[in-house]
Amino acid sequence: MFYAVLVHVVLGAVLFVSLEWHELPQPASSQVNIVQAVAVNEEQVQAELEKLKKAELLEQKRAEAERKKEEARKRKLEREIREAEEKRKAEERRLAQLKKEQEAEKRRKQELEKKRKAEEKRLAEKKAEEQEKLARMKAEQAALEKKRLAEEKRLAEMAVKRQQELEAARKRAEEERKRREQEAARRAEIAAEQARLDAARQRRLDSLRVQYIAAIAAKVERHWLKPPSARAGLSCKVLVKQIPGGEVVDVQVTQCTGDDAFRRSVEKAVKKSSPLPTPKDPRLFEREIIFNFKPQ
C-alpha cells in the first residue's frame, strides 16, 4: 500500500511539473533541450513506474503471501484455540469426573466405615451372645449330666425291677404253660368224649332218620292201590314237600320204572298218607323229604 501511494504521488508531481513547463514561454533556443528533458524525464518516469509496478506486484505478492500466512496463522491459532478449548473442556470434564469419583470414593469410604462399625457392633453382639450361649450350654450340660446320672440310676433300678418282673413273668409263663397243657389235655379228653357222643348221637339220628323215612314209605305203601299194569320190581323216587305236622303240600314222582298209571298211583298214595308220620326226634323234620318207593 505504501508503494502504491508513493507511485501515485510521483506521477502527480511529474504531471504538475510537465504542465508548468508547457505553460511557461520558453525561448526558441531552449525548446529542443526542454523537449529532450521532458522526453528523458518521461522515460525515467516510465522506468520508475515500471519499477514501481514491479515493486507493487512484488509487494502485492508479498502482501498476499503475508495475508495467506496470516490467514494460515489465524486458522492455526483458531485451531489451537479450539483444541485448547476442547482440552480445557475435556480437562473440566475430567476434573468433574474426578471430583465425582472422589465424592463417590468418599461416600464409599463412609459407607465402608459405617459397615465396619456395624460389623464390629454385630461381632461384639455375636460374641456376647455366644458367651451367653456358651454359659447356657454349660449350665444345660451340667443339668443334662445330672439328669443322665439320675436316668442311669433309674434305668439300673428299672433293670433290676425288670429282671425281677421277667423272672416272675417266666414263672407265671411256666405255670401258665403247665396250666394250658393240662387244659389242652382236658379239652382233648372232652373233645374226644364229645366226638364219641356226637358220633353216637349221629348214629342214633341216622338210625332214627332211616326209621322216619321207612315209616313214611310204609304209610305210603299202605295207601297205595296197585294199578292193573303194575308188575313186580317197580320203583320210583318221590319228593314230598310238607309243613310242620306232616301235612303234604306237594308231590313229585320221578325216575319211575313203571308207566304213568304207576306214577299216578304213587302220587295218590302219598296224598292219602297225609299227614305223614313225624320223627321221634324233632331235629329230623325236613320240609322236603326224598325217598325211594319200591312196593313189595
Triad 151, 169, 164: Cα angle to 5°:
40
Residue that wins the pLDDT comparison between 23 and 249: 249
239: helix, strand or coil: strand
pTM value? 0.37
* C-beta of residue 224 within 8 angstroms of C-beta of residue 265: yes
Q: Residue 196 is placed in which grid cell?
A: 364219641
Digit-coded pLDDT (tens) for 161-179: 999 999 999 999 999 999 9
Cα separation, 7 vs 141, whole angstroms? 125
Q: Which domain covers residue 205, as residue numbers?
A: 197-293
∠ CA 196-202-203, rounded to 5°: 90
Cis peptide before 279 (omega within 30 of 0): no
Residue 257 near residue 236, CB atoms below 8 Å: yes
Residue 252 scores a pLDDT above 90: yes
d(CA 21, CA 103): 92
Average pLDDT, the chain: 85
110-167 pLDDT, tens digit per residue, is: 998 999 998 999 988 998 798 999 879 888 998 889 999 989 999 989 989 999 999 9
288-293: strand order across its sheet: 247-254, 236-243, 288-293
- What mean pLDDT is predicted for residues 271-281? 92
Residue 28 lies in a domain: no
**32 found inside a domain:** no
Per-residue confidence (pLDDT) for residue 172, from 0 to 100: 95
Question: In the chain, how many domains are there?
Answer: 1
All three cell numbers of 87: 482440552
149 located within any domain: no
- The grid cell for 245 is 305236622
pLDDT score of 137: 86
The count of other CB atoms within 10 Å of the CB of residue 227 is 16
Give domain status of residue 238, yes or no. yes
Asked if residue 152 is part of any domain, the answer here is: no
Q: 43-94, pLDDT tens digit by residue? A: 888 888 888 888 888 888 888 888 998 898 889 988 986 987 888 998 889 9
CATH number at residue 252: 3.30.1150.10
In a domain? residue 46: no
Output phi, psi for 24, to 5 deg: -75, 135
pLDDT at 23: 46
pLDDT at site 142: 83
Which of 172-176, 189-193, 217-221 is least confident?
Answer: 189-193
Q: Assign 22 a pLDDT band (cuts: 50, 70, 90).
A: very low
Q: What per-residue confidence (pLDDT) applies to 34? A: 55
Is there a domain that residue 183 lies in? no
